[in-house]
Each structure stands twice: as C-alpha cells, then as structure tokens.
Structure 1
C-alpha cells in the first residue's frame, strides 16, 4: 500500500512539473490546431473568421461579420489575414475580438468553448442529433465573451471542436495550460532557403525590369499569378510563395499594398515581390504554379521574342478592370493565350476552386461534370485576324465594376447585349473561316484535356478525361478563357455586395453558354439544335429566347463523325488521337472490355476496382443508392500488406438546365444522376469517408447496389462508415491528405470538413 501511495505521489509531482513547464505554440499548440481545428477554421469560410492555421490568425481572433454573404447590400471591408492588418490592435479596430485573452474573472473565450465541448462528448460513431445544424449556411453566432454564458445555455452542444469527435485529454490539457499561461506565441515566419532566395531575386529582377513593355507584361503576369502558391525548382518541400505589390524594392522588407483587387490602382510607386506563404497549407486555397529557369525562359520567349511596342503603361480604373483586352492590347494576343494554355489546369482551377466557387448559387451555373478543351491559337481568329480582334475587343467588357442595387437590371442588359453582339460577330466570322477540324483543337501538352466536377456548392478540376462521356463539353478560345479568369478571379470581390455577386454569376452563365456553343461547331450542323435542346430543357428554352445569341446551324464541321451519336463518336476519336495527352485513362468508368480496372496494380486492387466499376454507368433510377450518397464520398480501401488506396465517389446530379441563378431544386432530375468512381482525392471538401478492407469491397458494392432507402443505407454507414463522432475520425480524415502527400506532394494540404455530412 505504501509503495502504491508513494508512486501516486510521484506521478502527481511529475504531472505538476509538466503543467508548470511553458507550453510552446510552435511545438505543442499549432500541431493540435492543425489536427483538430484547421479543417474548419481556415480561409474565408472559417466560422466567425477564426483562422487557426497560424499564430497570426489565433491572435487576430473572431468576428461576427461573415465573409460569404450573398445578400448584403453594401460591400464589406476586407479582412484578409497577413494583408489588411498586421497586429492585434489593428484587428480590434476592425471588429475582431480576442479568443485568447481572459476577461476579468472569466477565462478566455477559447478556453470556455473548449471546456463546453469537453463537457459534452458525443457517443462514439453515432449520428449527430438532428437539431444540430452543421450546414455551411448555418448561422454562426460568434458570441462575445460577455455573451458566452447565455450562448452555452442555449447551445450546450456547440462547444469546440464542433460536432466532431473531441480532443484527447492530453491535447485538451495542453491547450488549456497554454491559454492559462497567457497564450504566448513563439512561431517564426517561414523564410526562403538559399536556393529559393536566389530564384526569388531572379524573378523579382525580371518583374521589375525598366521599360514600358516590361512594365505592361509584368502587370499582366501579376494579375494572372497573384492567387498562385508559387513553388521553385529545387525548393524546400512545403515552401510556397505569393506575388504581391510592395512599396519597397527587392532587398528591403516587403510593405504590401493591400488593394481590394489585384488590378486596383496601387496609389503609389510599387514593386513586384515574392513572399513566403505563411501558416498551414489548406487544400481548398492551394492552387499551385511552378517557377524555374525554364519557365522564365519560356516567359521571355513568349512575350519578348517579337518586336511589339508599348508607348506607355495604361492607368487603372473601372474601364481598365472591365476590359483587360483593351488594357493589354499592346501585348501580342498569341503570347497571352499561349501562356494560359501552357498551364491551363492552373487557370481553370483558379475559377473552379477559387473564392468565387463557394455556395450553391455560385456553382449552379455549371453542370456537375463536364470536360474542357481549348482552341488552338493558330485557329483562333482573335489571335490571327487583327481586324476581327479590333472589332471584337470593344464588345468583351465585363460587368461587376459598379455595384449599385438599383442599377443591376440596366447593367446586366447592357453587358448581355454586348456579349451577344460579340457572339453574332464571332459566328459570322467563323462561318467564313475554314471548317473546324482536329487541328483546331489545341494539343500542346497534358493541360489540353481537363475534367471538371461540381459538388453542389464547391467544384474541382483535374487533368485528363475522367468519367463517362458527359452531357456537355466546353471548347474554350482565348476570349472565353481570359474573360472567365477575369470575371471570376481578378475582378471577383468576395467581400462585395449582392449586386456585384449577381453580375458575376449572370455573366458567367453567358460564358458557359459560349463555351458550349463553341463546342457545337465541332458537331455536324444538323445535330446542333438537338444537342442544345437537350442541354436547355424546359425553362432553359425560355433562357435561350431571353438572353442567348442564336447558334450557327448551317456552317459545316470538317470532323467526320458517326451520324447516330456524333458526340460519342467525337469523344472516342479524341481519346484515340490524343491518348498520349490524356493524363488519366479511366477504365473504371469507361470500361470497354472484361477488365474494368487499371493496369499495373496488384491483383487485390484489380478485384476491388472490378467491383467498383459496377457502380458506374447506371442512372439513379436504376442504382437507387445514388440518391442517398452525398456529392463527394471518399473510399479508403485497406490492403492486406498494410497499404491503402483511396477512391473518390462523385455524385453527378442531373438538371434539365443550369441557366438560372435560383430554383435549382426545381430543375433536378434525380433519376438521371450518375456516379463517377476514380482513384485519388478529387475534392477539397469530402462529404463522407468509408473505410473498407479490400476483401470486403465486393460486399460493400453489393450492399450499395441493394440499397433502396435511407434505412438500408444507414446499415452500410454503420458497418463501414467513418462518422464525425468516430473515435479515430481525425486519423482517417487526415489520411486523405496524407494520400495526396504521397501521390502528388506539391498539391497536398489539409482538407476541409465544413461539408462533412451527418450520415
């Protein structure tokens, strides 16, 4: 007995010594935040704008103002971390409240939120209570310290981490000890390595070279790379950089000019600088672009090989933002377009996965799955015909620069009419040009073929042609690609008001229509109307009459396609002709024989993929489980050797049309929904995870095939599902990011769980 008492006393003494030791933010706290908090608390959609990906975010605190707000009548002040304020006092003036400071006799707000969560543990792997709202559109109350007691009384299950398995006891005690010690921060800013610093200096010298031509090219490049996470050849793993405008030149500390948009007037002399990206890398904002000596040589070749002139650099202002084709007219259009084509996946990703694509109203302008192709520069009249280019340029201006609520109808009609006048001009000129042939489709590298998937209120893009032949394809030329980029990336203001956001959404509808109609030029003339009628069913026909320019149903195509189903004939020929460029062959979804799996994988995985292929190619009216599945499900297949493979199960919702901003649910065609199954993580926002041993994949697929209702689906979830309350939820969730790290390390980042469903 004495020995046991002595041992207990020793343990208590050791524990008190450990508790007295200062907690290190970088060593002890940030890893806990990264594991348990960053999946929700990052970027613009962090609840209460509490960003826990860095010490700066934790110290900034929380705000009641939501960034994503599609109904506000006035634009909101920008609150971008590391840009719009740089110390706690400045953030307090912007309305942010500390979550780390004690309030008199009350503990810090974070400590109380963690305690509330610790006191209300959730039953292991159980469904959450139905009344607990976990949707991304929930009203986050963001209580102030003096409001917390009432908040906790009304919301006893709203503690942190919210609606997910809680912290371990050790992690909980570490965070509470750190907050009690005053939440000291020892995190050091990420610094460039010697190799990276040398390349930073080279690129900054290039971007800040003297001369009007040089300044104009640098401005165009900056506007096309400002959103990128730049990485250098030979750089450190996990090191990324962003391009900014600074009041200070190279060699001096960066003083960022934080304009609302990248093409706003900087208001002073400035320099382009490259600075390290700080904080935890999260997948949803991690849009990468590589820099190297070869890339710099390519840029110089594209932009400075020809003898073009620029007398002066244009100023800034509304018209310059609205029409970049005028602003940068002096730069050869061939150079601009080819630069974008070289890395087309990056540019499509900026507007498919960037800030504009958050929320159903923002994404319902696109189909749930489609493919994108590009027009070859040598057969793009905007590139090759100077007279046409001059005539078209004035019609390519884009809305969104003025955000008056009462002006919205007039602004919309004005820009719609300009766009339709451009489409009429375009149709006329292309009718007189040689008929499109295979050489008109760009095939420069593996960026030539892209697959886009929409997951209700988010979207993603990947190289290669993934999935079954989609209902629609886009064929983008330079004016389509550049307008999409400027409308949805450069000119989009995530803090803007309802008028600005509506103009952005409405004009993107016209761009989508333009890309679809351009693809129809490849189809036989007599088939085009029937395809258009299929894409714009029911109310879509009204939209065609109201807002769209008529299509060309007469000019021939030079492609020789099978008359019965020319679109499928086109795809089959495309896959044959461009097979070497198709980054992701897809035998699971487009099985043409007995073996519906990838080659070169183990027999165990071959059997798993053969089973999974049974879920593809069947509409929701036949495969009833599709109606139970969320938008993006991740399947983790455990192999007998201890390894695992990850598959994305993407639900492709069918619509009669996607031509209207509201009422999407009225256009659903659930009986036509399909499922795409593909290796890899094809979404930043997983809705659910299944973990299935390889030997049980056939049983898992059979169970899905037999599921007819929610009750049957819940049995599947109970056997193989990883619910938010699963004791090992975070291990499985972060293993998805680990999979990306192993397969595509440059693209790796923490995934977002704001859309993880309560199945």
Structure 2
C-alpha cells in the first residue's frame, strides 16, 4: 500500500493529464445526451427539431420550423435525419442553425442553454411552477444565437435539460469543456457483423433478383418493411437495420434515395439495400421485425412458390398509391395477407408508432382500449372468390393522394361513397357465405390476439388479451388490414397539408367502422344493432346516418353465444378457444378466483399484485383517484432483495363515440373511465412514475382508494411520486428501459419524457 503522501503526489501528477485528455464525442458526450437529453430530443417531435441521438443530429442543429402543423395549407419540405441532407452545411441550406458553434465572443447556443439551467436549479422533488408550460403543444421559440439574451431574460426557467433535474456537475463540466473546444464529433458508424453481413447479402440478392415477378414482390415487401427495425438471427445485440432504396448496388456504400413516401417514383435506377440504423434507439420509433434464413425461405415460398404470371411491372403515381390492391393485383392475395398475419403485431404497431411520434391523426379515431383479431384466410372472400375480388378491388382506393384545399369535401365524398359501395357489396357477399364460427378467426400463431391501448396521441400494441373485456373489438380481414397500413403508414405524410391530414383521418374513421361491423357478424343477429348503438351514442347516431353503411341484422352467426350478453360471452370463448395462443394471461384485471396475481411469484409480489387488482377494471365513478391520474402511470415496486417489478397503470377514457375529428372532450364520459394494471411497460411515453416498496403496496392501494380530490392526490404523490425534479429522476426513469431490456431485450429503447406531467 502506497504512503498517503506518495498517493497524493501521484494523483496530483495524473489529474492534469486526465484534464488535458481530449474529450471524445462517442465515448464522453453521446452517453450524457442519451442519459439526459434524448428522452425529449429525438424523432420528429423533438423541440426545435434538435435531435441529440447521434453526432449527425447534434451537428445538424435546430430550426424554428415545426414538423407538426395541422393548419398549413401547403406541404412543407421533409427534414428527415440521415436521409434528406447529409452534413452540417447541407442542413444550413435547409434553415437549420448550429447549437454547437461559438458566435464571435459568445459561447455556443447549447452552452448558454445549459448554463441557464445550471444557474437556476429546481427545488428537489418539488412541483414545477404552474406558469411553466411543459405541454407537448407549447410554443417552442427556438431562439437563434442573436436572440438568446432577450429569450433568457424573458424565460429564465427554460434552460436545458428543460423542466427536469439538472446535469450532474461532472457532466455539466464535461459538456462545457467539449463545447469550448469547438464541439468536435468523431464519426463512429455502426457496422454489420460477419454473420449479419452474410444474411444481408442473401436478402439483398432476393430483393434485387431479376424478373418482373421478383421486381413486383420486392416492391411490395419494401413498402411493408421500410419502417421496420430489422434484426437478424444470431445477430449482435443492439444491431438493427432498415431497408432503403439506394442508387448503388450491393457491395458499394449505400446512397439512399429520399422520396417523400416509400411508394413514390424513385426517379432513377435503384437497388434495395439493408443498412444499419445509426444513433440511439428510442422506444417510440422502435418497431422490430425478425429476419432469418427460415423467414427468407418462407417468403420465397409464399410469394414465388406458385405459378402466377406478370407481363409488366406497374408504374408509380397517385392512382398506384391510392389503390395498392390494383397495383399489386398480380401477387396472390393469399401471400400478401399471410405475410401480414405472420407478424401482425408489427403491422398494427406501425399504425401508431414510428417516426411520426405524435399519432393523433390515427389515435383520436380509436377507443382507449380494445382487442383485435383477424379473419382466417380460408374464410376471407377477397382471397377465396376471384369474382368478388374483381368487383371489390376498384372500390378499395384510398384518399389523400391529392391535397387541394378547395376540393377537400369533394374528394372525401368520392372516397366515402366508394367505401360504402364496397361495404354494401361485402355485406351481400358474406350474407350468402357460411355463417362464421370459431374457425373463421385466424389462429396461426401468437400474433392472432392483440390488445391496443390508446393514450391520447400515442398508443401501444401487445400480443395477447390484456385488461378487462373492452367495449369494442375489431375483426380485421385482408382489405381492412391492408387499407389501414397504407392509409396510416405508407401514404401518410406528416409534412403534408391540412387537406391530406384531414382526408387520412376521415377515411380511417371508415376503416374503424368497417372492422367493428365485421366483428358484429360474430354476434347474434338480433343483438347487433344494440351493440352498435352502444358504440355510437348521441352524436354518433348522426355520423351513422351521414357516413356509415347499414349493418346486416339478419344473417346468422354459427357461434352459440348467450344473447343476453353476447360480447362478454364471446370474450370468454375467445380466451378459452385460443388459450394456448394468449401470450399474456391477465389475472390482475380479469380475476376469476381468489388469487388475483400471476403464479410462481415471490410471496411479497403475490401480495402486491393481489392488492393492485383492487384498482383494476373499476369505473371512475367508484374509484375517484382515476380522475387524478394521467393516462400512462408507471409503478416501480421494490422487493426486499433489491430486485424490482414494474407495472403500468393505464387510464382508459370512455367516450360516447369516437366518430368525429373535433370536440373529443364533448363526448368524454369520465365516470366510466377505468384502469388497466399490468406488469410491463406499456407505453413509450410515461406520464408519471411512483416508486413503492413491495411491503407498502397495500398501503399505496388503500391511499389510492381513499383519494377523493386533487389535494389528497398530491399528498400521495409527495409520499411515493418521482417528480421531474427528483434528484434521482434519471436513474428511475431509465430503469424503465432497463426493465424492458431485461424482459424483452429486442424491444428496449430510450423512453420519451415529453409527456411526463407536473403532478
């Protein structure tokens, strides 16, 4: 052991050397951004479009132009990182300004924003000032360097990190030293491993194979996988890839073609390429899809295993975008539908996740919780009846390809009438088909049963039947599933104008209604109208009269259901018939006996879940605390041995109907709200977090049951809540991601805190 004097001498010699060591962006800076900044500064909804998930994003900087603008009359230019421009100078030409460069004698904009927060920290675990706007719709001023002094005088509490516990002193000093040194960024690019590269070569060879059939199949697959975070069998942990259209063939550096939509004309010869996804993985854009040798063999058999013919590959254009059923008519529809069913969770996730990151266009047309099942391909008339398919295909075109403001109503009426003509054709065709029974519901794998939970402008999708029996259920056939995907994913342009966005929203309302009406075919004929009336109460009846096709109240179902409560009886039958496919049994929300907890848990967790079940599936009229809770609350339960479990408490808001674009608050039925309690992180956007020891969970639940107003709820938050200003906020917040990584490692990504509330 060194004498103390000699130890101090060594440290005094080493310290200056450590201080003089150059700061590495990849080693020293990106981890600080990932820990403290990416939770807000990622995706299109990053304030001022400042994306700090990569060096490229940090160097791109910020802009005053928002991505989300529901009132613009003209589509705006796209500003997608890694695609629409490359390098800082290219982004300057697109009106992005640097946050890293010093301006004369003034420090860099980022340095000044960090200093503003560092000089005025918030009181630990206290509520933020009421006049500090932290909502996602706040007006981000995005001050230029020349505007900063006036901005700071007017807004002294909006330094960075914004409205949250500040940086540690060490991290603050590291960032300031890096910025003072000119903010150098070393280029660290994720590369495929040897095993991944071999599989990439096989997939690229398949996607770029010569031949008209091969060309059309590759195009359809690209349009269905362009949003995916692809990962390979025996690939490296944390390695994900995306498929792009590139000007360069396999073996050369990828040169992506930046079209507005994936089904726009690329304008030049191109090749499908798989390229690594760069930057920090964030949960809200992380929609995973597995690739393997077995998957490749299945895809080849599905699409090219039969002897279908194609004379010429269709071109591009508005009509091709509007009706993919015509564009890809040559590909057997059985192959298309089965491909989507095999990974149905992925496709339903794409409807409401991904780079859009603020999905109210999709989510305000759905209820806060519902289940989705799929029509078996052998009983889908679009697949099995060529004559019906030929009559239906022209009627399946979707709006949004033309965005003239003046003709919005005319465009909408045209597509609404086509859709209703299709529904009439469909109703008559299925009236002559065999009555549906359990075999008509697809049961091919554990993607067959899905649960969807909406939280205002976001939503989550999970395999299995979670939560209480919901008010609505969807039964999706191929035309419904494919139209939803094209309307909300392929054809949707977040940079589009108000006409495009309105047409998208209005048509998705018709798709939802179609999925609900299809489900009604499973119910006894005499009960269908009453169920439909429950879904479309009050103003919903007007919408049914104006826009929806009538339902079949005569054709029978082959399911033997209790006519006094057919939907409940159907749900019970679904849980019984598909028990082996139900990926997530849920005894907390649907307790059928004395033990309302998962089996094989430590005793202290059994007691905790038994207590939590008292909060589940009870209306807010009797459980007053629901009125105080945000939509996605996380509960972290600490065990005596240091381990922990994480539960989601999702507030399911009730509405008289979800049939209109505006006035949602007028249709809100707060006394009917309920909570779903489930042991998993069920949202990319936590609204609040409680931390409770397992032994205190019964007391926590009792306190929740006793809350009658905001004052009582604030006391509960004071005792167990983790506010934005909590000294260990980031430790607790990122532990949610750690929980996902431990339980579902492929799905892990940094969560978003833009919606974390000031409780």
- Does TM, scored on the shorter chain, surpass 0.5? yes
How far is the alpha carbon of 1:20 from its aligned partner?
Answer: 2.9
> Which residue is equivalent to 1:151?
151
Question: What aligned pairs does 1:510-525 form with structure 2 within 5 A after superposition?
Answer: 510-525=510-525
Work out the CA distance in 2 between the residues paired with 1:753 and 1:357: 12
> Which residue is equivalent to 1:279?
279
Question: What aligned pairs does 1:330-349 form with structure 2 within 5 A after superposition?
Answer: 330-349=330-349
> Which residue is equivalent to 2:80?
80
How far is the alpha carbon of 1:473 from its aligned partner?
Answer: 0.1
> Which residue is equivalent to 1:582?
582
Deviations 1:91-133 (A, max 9, x none): 0000000000000110000000000010110000000000111
> Which residue is equivalent to 1:655?
655
> Which residue is equivalent to 1:65?
65
How far is the alpha carbon of 1:187 from its aligned partner?
Answer: 3.4
Deviations 1:114-171 (A, max 9, x none): 0001011000000000011111101100000000000000000000000000000000
> Which residue is equivalent to 2:294?
294
Native 8 Å contact 2:283 2:747 kept in 1: yes
Question: What aligned pairs does 1:14-25 form with structure 2 within 5 A after superposition?
Answer: 16-25=16-25
Work out the CA distance in 2 between the residues paired with 1:127 and 1:362: 32
1:541 equivalenced with 2:541 (yes/no): yes
Native 8 Å contact 2:190 2:278 kept in 1: yes
> Which residue is equivalent to 1:196?
196
1:261 is paired with a residue whose SS is: coil
Question: What aligned pairs does 1:262-661 form with structure 2 within 5 A after superposition?
Answer: 262-355=262-355, 358=358, 360=360, 362-661=362-661
> Which residue is equivalent to 2:26?
26
How far is the alpha carbon of 1:312 from its aligned partner?
Answer: 1.1
How far is the alpha carbon of 1:362 from its aligned partner?
Answer: 4.2
Work out the CA distance in 2 between the residues paired with 1:67 and 1:609: 42
Deviations 1:205-228 (A, max 9, x none): 000000000000000000000000
How far is the alpha carbon of 1:9 from its aligned partner?
Answer: 11
How far is the alpha carbon of 1:355 from its aligned partner?
Answer: 4.5
Work out the CA distance in 1 between the residues paired with 2:77 and 2:535: 40
2:395 is paired with a residue whose SS is: coil
How far is the alpha carbon of 1:21 from its aligned partner?
Answer: 2.3
Work out the CA distance in 1 between the residues paired with 2:222 and 2:458: 26
Deviations 1:527-577 (A, max 9, x none): 000000000000000000000000111111010001110001101111011
How far is the alpha carbon of 1:617 from its aligned partner?
Answer: 2.2
How far is the alpha carbon of 1:18 from its aligned partner?
Answer: 3.6
Work out the CA distance in 1 between the residues paired with 2:543 and 2:356: 23
Aligned residues: CA RMSD: 1.5
Work out the CA distance in 1 between the residues paired with 2:707 and 2:554: 48
1:70 is paired with a residue whose SS is: coil
Q: CA separation of 1:297/1:362 partners in 2, compared to 1, >3 Å: closer, same or farther? A: closer
Q: CA separation of 1:108/1:514 partners in 2, compared to 1, >3 Å: closer, same or farther? A: same
Work out the CA distance in 2 between the residues paired with 1:34 and 1:268: 38
1:713 equivalenced with 2:713 (yes/no): yes
Work out the CA distance in 2 between the residues paired with 1:240 and 1:350: 16
Native 8 Å contact 1:354 1:489 kept in 2: no
Work out the CA distance in 2 between the residues paired with 1:235 and 1:362: 33
2:649 is paired with a residue whose SS is: strand
Deviations 1:597-649 (A, max 9, x none): 00111111110000000001210000000000000001000001110000000
Work out the CA distance in 2 between the residues paired with 1:19 and 1:155: 34
Work out the CA distance in 2 between the residues paired with 1:623 and 1:707: 8
Q: CA separation of 1:361/1:307 partners in 2, compared to 1, >3 Å: closer, same or farther? A: closer
Work out the CA distance in 2 between the residues paired with 1:486 and 1:474: 18
Native 8 Å contact 1:374 1:441 kept in 2: yes
Native 8 Å contact 2:684 2:751 kept in 1: yes
Structure 2: segments with no counterpart, 5+ residues: none
1:394 is paired with a residue whose SS is: helix
Structure 1 stretches of at least 4 aligned residues deviating more than 2 Å after TM superposition = 3-21, 354-357, 359-362
Q: Which moved further from structure 2: 19-28 or 36-45?
A: 19-28
How far is the alpha carbon of 1:16 from its aligned partner?
Answer: 4.9
Native 8 Å contact 2:44 2:357 kept in 1: no
How far is the alpha carbon of 1:457 from its aligned partner?
Answer: 1.6
Work out the CA distance in 2 between the residues paired with 1:745 and 1:171: 28
Native 8 Å contact 2:352 2:359 kept in 1: no
Question: What aligned pairs does 1:4-19 form with structure 2 within 5 A after superposition?
Answer: 16-19=16-19
Work out the CA distance in 2 between the residues paired with 1:331 and 1:508: 25
Native 8 Å contact 1:357 1:459 kept in 2: no
Work out the CA distance in 1 between the residues paired with 2:273 and 2:508: 31
1:169 equivalenced with 2:173 (yes/no): no
1:636 is paired with a residue whose SS is: strand
TM value normalised by structure 1: 0.98
How far is the alpha carbon of 1:185 from its aligned partner?
Answer: 1.1
Work out the CA distance in 2 between the residues paired with 1:421 and 1:382: 15
Question: What aligned pairs does 1:252-263 form with structure 2 within 5 A after superposition?
Answer: 252-263=252-263
Work out the CA distance in 1 between the residues paired with 2:446 and 2:7: 65
1:688 equivalenced with 2:688 (yes/no): yes
> Which residue is equivalent to 2:180?
180
> Which residue is equivalent to 2:756?
756
Native 8 Å contact 2:44 2:356 kept in 1: no
Work out the CA distance in 2 between the residues paired with 1:13 and 1:319: 72
2:645 is paired with a residue whose SS is: strand
Structure 1: segments with no counterpart, 5+ residues: none
How far is the alpha carbon of 1:358 from its aligned partner?
Answer: 1.5
Native 8 Å contact 2:467 2:586 kept in 1: yes
Native 8 Å contact 2:361 2:504 kept in 1: no
Work out the CA distance in 2 between the residues paired with 1:377 and 1:526: 27
Counting matched residue pairs gives 757
Work out the CA distance in 1 between the residues paired with 2:14 and 2:304: 68
> Which residue is equivalent to 1:212?
212
Deviations 1:230-274 (A, max 9, x none): 000000000000000001100111110010000000001100000
1:395 is paired with a residue whose SS is: helix
Work out the CA distance in 1 between the residues paired with 2:631 and 2:457: 9
Work out the CA distance in 2 between the residues paired with 1:236 and 1:466: 31
TM value normalised by structure 2: 0.98
How far is the alpha carbon of 1:360 from its aligned partner?
Answer: 4.2
Native 8 Å contact 2:43 2:357 kept in 1: no
Deviations 1:268-289 (A, max 9, x none): 1100000000000000000000
Work out the CA distance in 2 between the residues paired with 1:146 and 1:393: 57
Work out the CA distance in 2 between the residues paired with 1:683 and 1:86: 32
> Which residue is equivalent to 1:135?
135
Deviations 1:630-670 (A, max 9, x none): 00001000001110000000000000000000000000000
How far is the alpha carbon of 1:352 from its aligned partner?
Answer: 2.3
2:133 is paired with a residue whose SS is: coil
